[in-house]
Amino acid sequence: MTAGRRGGPYLLAVDAGTGSCRALLFTEGGEQVAVSLREWAHREPPGVPGGQDFDAEANWRAITACIRDALRLAGATGDQVAAVAATSMREGIVLYDADGTELWACPNVDSRAAREAAELIDEGAADRIFAQAGDWVSITSPARLRWLARHRPGLLRRVHSLGMLSDWIVWRLARVHITEPSCGSSSGMFSLPRRSWSAEIAEICGLPPEVLPEVADPGTVVGAVTAEAAAQTGLRAGTPVAAGGADTQLGLLGAGVRAGEFTVLAGTFWQNTILTTRPLIDPQVRLRTLCHVTPGEWMLEGIGFYCGMAMRWYRDAFCAAEVAAAQERGVDPYVVMEEEAARIPPGSNGVYAILSNLMNARRWRHASPSFVGFDLGDPAGSGRAAGIRAVEEAAAYVVRGHLGIIRELTGAQVSELTFSGGAAKGALWPQIIADVLGVPVHVPAVTESSALGAALCAGTGAGMYAGLTDLEGELRKRAATFEPQPAAVAAYTERYERWLDLYPRMLALSEDGLLNPLWRAAGAARPSQPDR
């Protein structure tokens, strides 16, 4: 938790991520004043392989605790909050009964619906959905809803409304069912050109039209904090609640990113993105397309699966000494970890971390997490510190691969990139990305740009801004630029090509059933299955 300058009025952003929830307070000028975070995990329900449930009750308690903590850290009261907006991971959905009680919810990483996704593919429905919604059925609602129809038909018949996880926060705060295009389109049930629900896809899913909530643009006031939510959070009853949006798209807004600029949002997952002025859909079904928060713009994206989570796992599994040293110094453990990794040369002395694969939505498969290339004769050079650096290099290789696909699809002449999110707080990771890609990397002054984007929605709803991009000039200021180092660029050119050769060989061990994959998307074809 951190705190900053006190005053008011404040804008509150509530963020429900894959691995944690947060509440952040910002000033009207976009200065972050306080943040509170709670890590959370999603449980696998018994007898449901690949399934992960989102615990609405427990997770709402975590969110309310974060809001109360943020107010306390800022020395603020609920009366000083002008408005609130929410952001969240994409794809996760919540189903409600007629009383508004959550019947069922899942996070973005739920992959229980493998059989159902395969059926949609075999029937040709997946292709029809992708043509309209720009996303494959692996991690979107159509397959999950078919799974419910098969396994919990009584529950599905009770569904009165459906929403995304950011919409769920709005429901808990204001008791209104709405969605907005950026998170709503991650359901896989939108018409991208229309930026609203697709009647055809809803029919494929077996949903009546009245289940789908109204669509409001981000920054629109959709309700007010109820007395119940006020008692839970410390906010003032009646505080305006504005439509927010998806974490990635709001991250681009909060970083002042414009169409045609390549950006990496580095959280639990890494989103490698570019904004377009038309809904460009990858004909090879590798990358995904979603609506951006601003009308007339869409986002093309390749996902680095668990790139940020991998560093958190490595910290918890191997870095007790660095965590203890960080506590003594009063710094974040990742600061100490990067200091150790910086002593290792580019290429990690031959150590490779096998983690996320390049995105291929139709056949999205990841190898079993592993490290290869240790030198038993050099424990200092190929031990824990090399592992830290190898995790960071693996994420950078995925960025480079996705940039190549984006260049191919858009023709964009990308000569620099913006790097935002938790991983951008350090000095080593952005430098590694600059060296792996051979282009300058710019870090915004506010690295928590997703939450800032939500705050901009709240401020627009409160009437503080005329529009979402009012602060764009300030947001485009960069705190640091990392220039590629020629020697490192040369080293990584060779290392990246070797990683491209190495990864499919490691993936084959999982495909052959010898190891468990990091993750396999629902409906992902195995090599023995022909691509459609």
Q: Per residue in 463-473, pLDDT tens?
A: 999 999 999 98
Mean pLDDT, the chain, rounded, equals 94
Domain ranges of the chain: 2-246, 304-443+485-511
Distance CA 193, CA 204 (A): 19
| Statement: residue 2 has pLDDT above 50 | no
DSSP 95: E
Q: What is the pLDDT of residue 59?
A: 97
Bigger pLDDT: 278 vs 526: 278
Q: Which string of DSSP letters, residue by residue, matches 494-523?
A: HHHHHHHHHHHHHHHHHHTTSS--S-B-TT
Longest dimension (CA), the chain: 66
Question: Can you read off the two tokens belonging to residue 380?
Answer: 């200092």
| Statement: residue 64 has pLDDT above 70 | yes
Q: Please give the C-alpha separations between residue 134 and each of 138, 402, 484, in angstroms, as whole numbers.
A: 12, 17, 34
Q: What is the pLDDT of residue 526?
A: 53
pLDDT confidence band for 3 (50 / 70 / 90): very low
Pick the CATH number of 304-443+485-511 from 3.40.50.720, 1.10.220.150, 3.40.50.300, 3.30.420.40: 3.30.420.40
Bigger pLDDT: 19 vs 514: 514
| Statement: residue 4 has pLDDT above 50 | no
Q: Average the pLDDT over each of 99-103, 313-317, 458-462, 517-521 and give the range with the smallest value.
A: 517-521
Strands (E), 399-492: 417-421, 441-444, 478-482
The 10 Å Cβ neighbour count of residue 223 is 18
Q: What is the pLDDT of residue 530?
A: 35
Distance CA 115, CA 343 (A): 47
Q: What is the pLDDT of residue 519?
A: 82
Q: Average the pLDDT over each of 204-208, 242-246, 502-506 and give the range with the smallest value.
A: 204-208
| CA distance between the termini of the chain | 49
Q: Is the bond preceding residue 9 a cis peptide, omega within 30 degrees?
A: yes
pLDDT confidence band for 392 (50 / 70 / 90): very high
Question: Phi first, then psi: what are they for 184, rounded to 5°?
Answer: -60, -40
Distance CA 246, CA 91 (A): 9
Q: Average the pLDDT over each of 2-11, 67-76, 194-203, 407-416 and give the range with the smallest value.
A: 2-11
- Can 2-246 and 304-443+485-511 be said to share one CATH topology? yes
pLDDT confidence band for 524 (50 / 70 / 90): low
Of 163, 107, 116, 164, whose CA–CA distance to 137 is shortest? 116
Q: Please give the C-alpha separations between residue 317 and each of 313, 352, 379, in angstroms, as whole numbers.
A: 6, 17, 18
| CATH superfamily placement of domain 2-246 | ATPase, nucleotide binding domain (3.30.420.40)
Strands (E), 284-324: 288-291, 298-304
DSSP 205: H
Residue 2 · residue 34 · CB < 8 Å: yes
DSSP 165: H
Q: What is the pLDDT of residue 6?
A: 55
